[in-house]
Amino acid sequence: MTNARRLSFCIGCLYTRAVVAFFSHQLQLRQTLSLYASKLPKGISPFEKSVAKGLDIQGEFRKIAAKAILQAIRDGQTQLEIDFPPLIGGGSSKTAFDDFDNIQELNANRDWCVPLAPQIVLPSKQQWLILPDDKECELAQKEWGGGQLFRRSAKFTSIRAALVQVAGESQVTKAWGSTIAATLNKLSGGDGILADSSLLDDLSDTVDLERLYLVCQPGNGGPVEDWINVEQLHRSSPRNTVTCIVNGALDKVRDGYYPALFFPALAKTVPFYQDFEAVFFLKPISDKGLYGWLYRVYPEPWQVILQIPEQQQKGSQSVISVQELVALTSTKRPSYSDAVQAMVATSKNILNK
């Protein structure tokens, strides 16, 4: 064998070994990631509505989210995202297939965030619980203001009031119609959007600590200016301020739901929201006759989990159980199409067995 042929043969062997090693590593990585990925919370499947009604699913979400938030902050993350179905669980449990309005969703998100605040108290950070507007803050104060645990854990305020304190009134991007509403409100002693703004916590005595902003449902179902103001608030705040957005529908901003031609100011926020780290993310996927979830708990990998209902006979009763199959595990968030394809492939594998 000539030297040239030997060299070519050796290169070929090395290439083959490299390819085998690469795919072996990928397989091991996927198996390792699967070992350290959380299982779905119980009772969230639309096939288990009767089960969901007897579970405190939102309380379980809070436990998972609180742990993930604290870990992300310890790791130096300052832009955090939480996304989940806020109406699942309890006596009036609702899934994505049920009818509900924006008020129900907003109330559920508000009532989810208030009990979360005491679970993420940090000695080095002052926490502000930031609601979409002054009216929501007024309602939260009346609903939860008597609980000293909640009052001590965070300052109750609104996006507008927080931004005014941090950067001044001139930096607030006002929503269409808010000027008229504010004028009418001032006649009754308030300065927000048809609310008793005197119930907001005083922010002028804020201590010289780093801050944790827990921002509840900005933009989603409300004015797009909320998203603009939240970015301005974060950028105007002291260094190392952590902004954690709960159910703010950030995908709408990032994915061009609002055309840049008609919403140029909002389009400028896209780079900011692309930098957010998903610390607790649970979104249903329903396509091709299949149902599953896109799931992530920081610092774990992303998962696509397929749920398959199975009817079983227990005595004289027919009971539905749900089989959960991990269709995809990834260190990066998979696209919607990748998630659907993974679910379809997993479903086919089950049928072919």
- The pLDDT tens digits for 114-130 are 999 999 989 889 999 99
Mean pLDDT of 320-339: 94
Q: Please tell me the distance from the alpha carbon of residue 157 to that of residue 352, in angstroms, as a whole number.
A: 56
Q: Please tell me the distance from the alpha carbon of residue 273 to that of residue 267, in angstroms, as a whole number.
A: 10
- The yes-or-no verdict on residue 13 having pLDDT over 70 is no
Residue 301 lies in a domain: no
pLDDT digits (tens, 9 = 90+) for 178-228: 544 455 555 544 444 567 777 788 898 877 789 999 999 999 888 999 999
Residue 200 lies in a domain: yes
Mean pLDDT of 39-47: 92
Average pLDDT taken over every residue of the chain: 84
Most confident of 3-7, 21-25, 70-74: 70-74
Inter-residue contact 195 to 203 (CB < 8 Å): no
- The yes-or-no verdict on residue 1 having pLDDT over 60 is no
Q: In the chain, what percentage of residues exceed pLDDT 70? A: 82
Q: Which domain holds residue 225?
A: 44-290
- Which residue's entry shows tokens 């109406």? 87
Mean pLDDT of 79-89: 96
**Better pLDDT: 138 or 305:** 305
Beta strands 290-297 and 79-83, pairing class: unpaired
The alpha carbon of residue 227 and the mean position of all alpha carbons in its chain are separated, in whole angstroms, by: 15
Mean pLDDT of 248-271: 95
* E strand or H helix at 178: helix 178-186
Q: Among 16-25, 72-81, 168-177, 325-334, which is the least confidently predicted range?
A: 16-25
| The pair of three-digit structure tokens given for residue 47, joined into one six-digit string | 């096939």
Please count the other Cβ atoms lying within 10 Å of the Cβ belonging to residue 342: 23
Residue 150 lies in a domain: yes
Name every residue whose Cβ is closer than 8 Å to that of residue 172 and which is 6 or more positions away in sequence: 160, 163, 164, 229, 232
Inter-residue contact 253 to 269 (CB < 8 Å): yes
Number of domains in the chain: 1
Residue 116 lies in a domain: yes
Closest CA to 157 of 221, 119, 106, 201: 201
| The pair of three-digit structure tokens given for residue 311, joined into one six-digit string | 């009817």
pLDDT digits (tens, 9 = 90+) for 53-74: 889 999 999 999 999 999 999 9
pLDDT category, 145, cuts 50, 70, 90?
low
Q: Please tell me the distance from the alpha carbon of residue 86 to that of residue 91, in angstroms, as a whole number.
A: 14
Assign 66 to helix, strand or coil.
helix
Name every residue whose Cβ is closer than 8 Å to that of residue 331 and which is 6 or more positions away in sequence: 33, 301, 302
Mean pLDDT of 5-21: 50
**Better pLDDT: 272 or 34:** 272
Residue 344 lies in a domain: no
Task: Give the angle subtended at the CA of 305 by the CAs of 303 and 307, to the nearest 5°.
Answer: 170
Please count the other Cβ atoms lying within 10 Å of the Cβ belonging to residue 251: 15
Q: Order of strands across the sheet with 277-287?
A: 155-158, 125-131, 210-216, 242-246, 79-83, 277-287, 290-297, 302-314, 317-330
Residue 168 lies in a domain: yes
Residue 227 lies in a domain: yes
Inter-residue contact 164 to 172 (CB < 8 Å): yes
- The yes-or-no verdict on residue 104 having pLDDT over 50 is yes
Inter-residue contact 81 to 250 (CB < 8 Å): yes
- The yes-or-no verdict on residue 112 having pLDDT over 80 is yes
Residue 170 lies in a domain: yes
Question: What per-residue confidence (pLDDT) applies to 175?
Answer: 82
